Amino acid sequence: MKKIIYLIILGFATILYANDSEYYTSGNQLVPLESPNVRLDKEVLKITRANSQSNKFLVDVTYQLYNKGEARDLLIGFESTGQVGDAESEGFFDKKYDVKKLLNAEKKAIKMSTKKHENEYIKNFKVTVNGKHINYKVTNFDHIAKDKFTSPFVGWLYYFPVHLKKGINKIHQTYLFSSETSVKQRYGLSYILETAQRWKSGKIKDFTLILDLGENEQFNVAKTFFDDNNNWQIENGYMKDNIKGDYIKFYIISGKVIFHKKNFIPTGTIWIYASRYFPNNGKFSFDYKEHTLPFQTTFFDTATDAISLKILKAQPFARKGYLFKESNILNYYKKCPWYHINRKYKKSWKSLTIQERKWFLKLTKIEKKILQNIPYAKRGYVFKNYSLSRYFENQKWYKKNPKYKASFSSLSLSEQKWLKKINKLQASKDIDKFFFMPLF
C-alpha cells in the first residue's frame, strides 16, 4: 500500500527591496509535514561564492533520509521568498513561520496555478531523487492575500512528485541565488536550521556545512546554531571568537571552512555576512597613520609616503602571518585585528596568489616610477600621473614649480648615477630588492 505525504524543501530565498536594491535571503531544510517515520540521517550543505566580486552563491545540498515504513509517493516543495518592499505593514517581517497556515496556502496555490511562473532571483534549480532527475513546476502566491500565511517566507513554490522507497533515500538539490547586499555589507545570507527538528528524533544524525567563499576572504558567522568552536575546521586560515559578541570572525587565506557535528540538534539560523571596507576620511591613497588595512585584497594601489608604501606592499605576506623584521611594518600589522603570526611561513613570491602577484607588481611599478622621479620632484616638476602626483603632493618638501622642465641633464652627477642604478633594477626579478628599498 502506498501512502501520500507532503514534504517541503525550504532553501535560500530572495526578497527585493525596491528602494535600495538590496536582497534579503533566507533558507531552510528539507522538512517533513506529514511523515513521522522518516529520519534525517545525514545532510551535507555546501555554499560556494561564484567569484571574489560576486554576491551570487551556489547552494549544493545532499540529504540522506531513512524511511522506516513502507514505500510511499510524496509531493516535495521548495519555497522561495516573494517580492516585498517598504509598503508592507508594520511587523510584517517579524511574523513567525507557521507550518499549518503555510501548508494550506501552498495547497491552494497549486490548485489555483494556471500559468508558468518564473523566479528571477533563483537560477539553475535542479533536483535528483535517488540519482534520478526530477522535473518540477513553479507557482506563486500573488493571488493569495499575504495575511493568510506567513510571508515573507514564501513567494514562489517549486513542487515535484517523488517516490520514496523503504530504507535509505538521497535527495540532491542545487541552485544559484543572489544574496543581500547593502551600503555596509558586501554580502549577507542566511539559512534556517531550526525546522530540521521536525524530523523523527528531532535532529540530524550527521550534519556538515561547507563554506567556500574565496581566497583572502573575511566574513562573520553568527553564534546561532553552534555552541562549540571545536566543531569548525579551516583548511588555510583561522577564526577569532568575539567572546563579548554574538559572532565569530573567519579569516580565510584559501580553501574551505567546514562545520561538522553528529546528533546535531539545530537551534538557530546560519547567518553569514561580510562587511564593506571604508578608508578613514574617505581617502583612497594609503596612509599608515590613518588607515587600518583590511584582511581582504587591498583597495589601495598608491600610498602617501615611503613608509606607507612599504607597509602596503607587505599586506599579502601579512595575511599569511609573516613575522616582519622591520619594526615599523611589524608594529603596524600588530594593530590590525586580523594579523595572526605564523612563524612557519616564509615570505616568498610563489606563496602569493595570481591576484596578489598582479597587485604587487602594479604597486612595484608605481614604486619604480616614484624612485625614478624623486630628483625631478625635488625641483618642483608638476606630475600629470595621478599616483605620482598624489604621492609627491603629500611630501612636505615638495613645492610645485610649473616653470621647471624635466631633463636628465638638469640633474647632479650623483643623482644621474643613482637614477641609472634604479633603471638597472627595473629588469631585476628579485622582488626583495624593491620590497625593502628605501625611497630616500
As beta bridge partners, residue 167 has 67
Q: Which of 35, 158, 145 is nearest to 101 (CA)?
A: 145
Grid cell digits, residue 321: 602571518
The whole-angstrom separation of Cα 36 and Cα 213 is 36
Q: Which amino acid is at 193?
A: L
pLDDT, residue 320, reads: 93
Q: CA of 107: how far to CAs of 8, 30, 141, in Å?
A: 12, 17, 11
Phi, psi of 44 (to 5 degrees): -120, 110
Grid cell digits, residue 92: 510584517
pLDDT, residue 368, reads: 81
CA 403 remoteness from chain centre: 51
**Which CATH architecture best describes the domain 3-275?**
Sandwich (2.60)
Q: Where are the domains of the chain?
A: 3-275, 280-435
**Tens-binned pLDDT, residue by residue, of the chain (440 aa):** 444 444 545 554 433 322 232 323 344 555 544 555 778 899 999 999 988 777 889 999 999 988 888 888 777 777 665 544 444 455 544 555 566 666 677 777 777 665 566 666 778 888 899 999 988 888 776 666 554 444 445 567 777 777 889 999 999 989 888 887 777 888 888 887 876 777 777 889 999 999 999 999 999 999 888 877 889 999 999 998 876 778 899 999 999 999 999 999 887 788 898 888 776 555 567 888 888 888 987 778 778 888 888 899 899 999 999 999 999 999 999 999 899 999 999 988 888 888 888 888 888 877 788 888 888 998 999 998 877 888 888 788 899 999 998 888 888 888 888 888 777 765 555 544 544 444 43
- 216: region left, alpha or beta (phi > 0 left; psi from -120 to 50 alpha): left
- Helix, strand, coil % in the chain, rounded to nearest 5: 25, 35, 40
The whole-angstrom separation of Cα 385 and Cα 378 is 16
pLDDT, residue 197, reads: 74
The whole-angstrom separation of Cα 249 and Cα 247 is 7
As beta bridge partners, residue 398 has none
The SS3 assignment for 156 reads: strand
pLDDT, residue 3, reads: 45
Q: CA of 20: how far to CAs of 107, 176, 182, 203, in Å?
A: 33, 22, 8, 39
Radius of gyration for the chain, computed over Cα atoms and rounded to the nearest angstrom: 28
